[in-house]
Amino acid sequence: MLNIKGLFANVEEKEIITGLDLEIKPGEVHAIMGPNGAGKSTLGNVLAARPGYEATAGSIQFKGKDLLEMDTEERAREGLFLAFQYPVEIPGVSNMEFLKASVDAKRKHHGQPELSAVEFMKLARETSKKVDLDAAFLKRGVNEGFSGGEKKRNELMQMMLLEPELCILDETDSGLDIDALQVVADGVNAMRDGNRSFIVVTHYQRLLDYIVPDYVHVLANGRIVKSGDKSLALELEAKGYGWLEEEVA
């Protein structure tokens, strides 16, 4: 699904990713943890080709294709989805229009016809039920006046509608109460189908009780310094990150 080799990347001319390797097979869930400022969000932004984030060396293969050759829209159409840590507001564009446009762009790329307004409405209503979001949110501006939990549920709804092959969730747990966390985790778990892969960036072990990862990686100083199974998350929760820095040194 994803093969990152020797990646170096800059943010605003500053080197943040410093030789990162990561291989993700279809169906796997990889959690990425690590201290603040380690480069976790930068990695997500480089994968999504967010402006200002530039890979300077190394390679990224996505489904056997050179990801670095694709722009943001191509990556999305190919099936990569980045759920933003701080979802953006787009006043004046209704959530419904926004979601339909993104679904239609992807369908077009795969040679499928646009959904009619009625077909999309039906699909959107069903999906909003699954994420416990009132269908009235479809008519509002994208993220306009949404609470933190509502933004996350909306993001989850977008992810469900787009059916991406690789989902990157960046601190999807921050600002969520327990009920919203459960909704997000249930949604993610329902999307696990043996083919779809996930990168879950989180500060807290708590989320990984609900979304059980196949692998846990620690990202520090721009590269992955330790990998393990889900027990590594428990060890980090108990011991913090300091011992790892000593071990790496």
Tell me which DSSP letter residue 21 carries. Answer: E
Q: Tell me whether residue 40 or residue 152 sits nearer to ligand ADP (CB atom).
A: 40
- At its nearest, how many Å lie between ligand ADP and the CB of residue 115? 35
Show the tokens assigned to 162.
Answer: 């787009």
Residue 69 exposed, middle or buried by CB count within 10 Å (0-12, 13-18, 19+): exposed
Residue 16 interaction partner, one of ligand ADP, Mg ion, none, beta carbon < 5-8 Å per kind: ligand ADP
Residue 160's binding partner among ligand ADP, Mg ion, none (Cβ under 5 to 8 angstroms by kind) is none
Cβ(187)–Cβ(160) under 8 Å?
yes
- Nearer to ligand ADP by Cβ, of 36 and 116: the residue is 36
* Between 76 and 219, CB nearer to ligand ADP: 219
Is residue 160 within 8 Å of 127, Cβ to Cβ?
yes
Closest approach, Cβ 168 to ligand ADP, in A, equals 12
Residue with smaller CB distance to ligand ADP, 79 or 213: 213
DSSP letters, 69-136, are GS-HHHHHHHTEEEE-SSPPPEEEEEHHHHHHHHHHHHHHHTTPPPPPHHHHHHHHHHHHHHTT--GG
Contact assessment for residue 24 and residue 217, using Cβ atoms and an 8 Å cutoff: no
Does residue 30 contact residue 213 with C-beta atoms inside 8 Å? yes
Q: Which residues of this chain interact with Mg ion, rule CB under 5 A?
A: 36, 40-41
Minimum CB–partner distance for residue 97 and Mg ion (Å): 29
Give whichever of 79 and 222 is closer to ligand ADP, judged by the CB atom. 222
Q: Please say whether the beta carbons of 56 and 68 come within 8 A.
A: no
CB of 220 to ligand ADP, least distance (A): 9
Binding site for ligand ADP (CB under 6 A): 11-12, 16, 34, 36-42, 52
Q: Which residue has the tokens 């990162």?
A: 20
Looking at beta carbons only, is 128 or 202 nearer to ligand ADP?
202
Interacting partner of 247 out of Mg ion, ligand ADP, none (Cβ under 5 to 8 A depending on kind): none
Picking from 90, 70, 88, 94, the residue whose alpha carbon sits closest to that of residue 80 is 70
Which tokens hold the place of 92?
């004046």
- CB-based closest residue to Mg ion: 41
- Choose from ligand ADP, Mg ion, none: what does 11 bind? Cβ within 5-8 Å by kind: ligand ADP
39 binds, among Mg ion, ligand ADP, none (CB under 5 to 8 A by kind): ligand ADP
Shortest distance (Å) from residue 37 CB to ligand ADP: 4
Report, in Å, the least distance between residue 43 CB and ligand ADP: 7
Q: Which two tokens stand for residue 105?
A: 């762009």
Partner interacting with residue 38 (select from Mg ion, ligand ADP, none; CB below 5-8 Å by kind): ligand ADP
